[in-house]
Amino acid sequence: MMERQQENGRLVENPSMKDVAEKWLSSIEVPHVVVDENGNMNSVDCKEEIRRQTWDQYESIIRRLIEPSVGGLKIKEITTSTCDRFLRSLVVDGKGHTNARLAKTVLKQIMSYAVRHDLYIWGNPVVEVDRLRKPRKKPLGLSETTLVEVREAVRNWGQEPRRSGPRPSSVLADIVDVLLGTGARIGEVLAIRLEDIDLSGGVGKIAITGTLVEPRHGPKYRQDLLKNPGSERIIPVPEFVVDVLVRRISESPANNAAGALFWSRRGTYMQASSVRRQLRAALDAAGIDNAQLITPHAFRRTVATLLARQVEDKAAASMLGHADLTMTHAAYIERLKEVDDYTAVLDGLGPKPLS
């Protein structure tokens, strides 16, 4: 028979894309992260060089995008044109490029698995898919006026009379200050521990050594790994951040067993998703225009833009933990719209009196 039945875990000769995708996903060893009661990652039981959040992302792309669209096709029906149409269908009204890029990465690996297991003999069809060109968006930092509005919004949020819920606190305003004073990612800021803070010298410093991970399955945890290898850094912070650090150190409760700068009520680390929701709620409550564009990452772009304009581009890259300037230029620094005053030099090109 041309099509063998599945036996001993093997796939039939012409299985569906869904079956191959599931088989490929199960072939990747899922990192088993051991998390202590305080939310710290103790160890990872995995021989593969893959992080838990990466595996979660693969699974999400397969479940949300690949299986609903092409999962029912037989693997031998998958062609370059099939892949190209599917990936381009993910971009609607100029949106969805990130999903399309991730789906292409996952689809390419699935088809490589099919080729390696003799389920597909014509080479990987995803390789020949045309590049998915994403319109380049200009990175935008927040203006000084917008920052004033944002600070007022987060400071006032939760202060409304008769508001139900927990007693208001300054934590959201404090997080915004630390984001602006460090240029760090929200996961890095929420992973700061009291032991990472040094106030002994003339300038306060924060060591960025880890990040918060929120896997789709299992508890959130702090890992001693950053998004990019080698991006650990010690950041001297301005006085407005030092004020936050001093106050929060003094207010740290007895149940803050994790020793987190921003602790939850249970004494573990706060979740980035929760902070994003709170920030959006505060901005919406204040009626700030384009509130959906003001995210924790917008503060990071604001820091990069300020440093690039007033110091140099390398200062922005260093603060953000980038190994080179490519990413900093492409995604973080808002280019000046107004040219500096060079009129004194250009005067030399003016008309000269005739002799």
> What CATH number does residue 106 fall under?
1.10.150.130
Q: Is residue 272 part of a domain?
A: yes
CATH number assigned to the domain comprising residue 150: 1.10.443.10
Looking at the structure, do residues 178 and 325 belong to the same domain, yes or no? yes
pLDDT value, residue 93:
79
Torsion of CA 120, 122, 123, 127, to 10 degrees: -110
pLDDT value, residue 343:
66
Looking at the structure, do residues 39 and 148 belong to the same domain, yes or no? no
Distance CA 67, CA 313 (A): 43
Distance CA 77, CA 82 (A): 8
pLDDT value, residue 11:
56
Contacts of 208 (CB under 8 A, 6+ apart): 182, 184, 188, 192, 196, 226, 231, 232, 233, 234, 235, 321
Q: Is residue 138 part of a domain?
A: no
Looking at the structure, do residues 149 and 284 belong to the same domain, yes or no? yes
Contacts of 277 (CB under 8 A, 6+ apart): none
Q: What is the distance, to the nearest Å, from the Cα of residue 300 to the centroid of all Cα atoms in its chain?
A: 11
The residue type of 306 is L
Counting as low any pLDDT under 50, the low residues of the chain are 1-9, 162, 166-167
pLDDT value, residue 150:
93
With CA atoms as reference, report the closest residue to 172 among 286, 331, 303: 286
Q: Is residue 341 part of a domain?
A: no
Q: How many domains does the chain have?
A: 2
Q: Is residue 11 part of a domain?
A: no
pTM value?
0.74
Q: Is residue 123 part of a domain?
A: yes
Q: Is residue 100 part of a domain?
A: yes
Please provide the distance, in angstroms rounded to a whole number, between the alpha carbons at the two ends of the chain.
100
Q: Is residue 164 part of a domain?
A: yes
Looking at the structure, do residues 82 and 187 belong to the same domain, yes or no? no
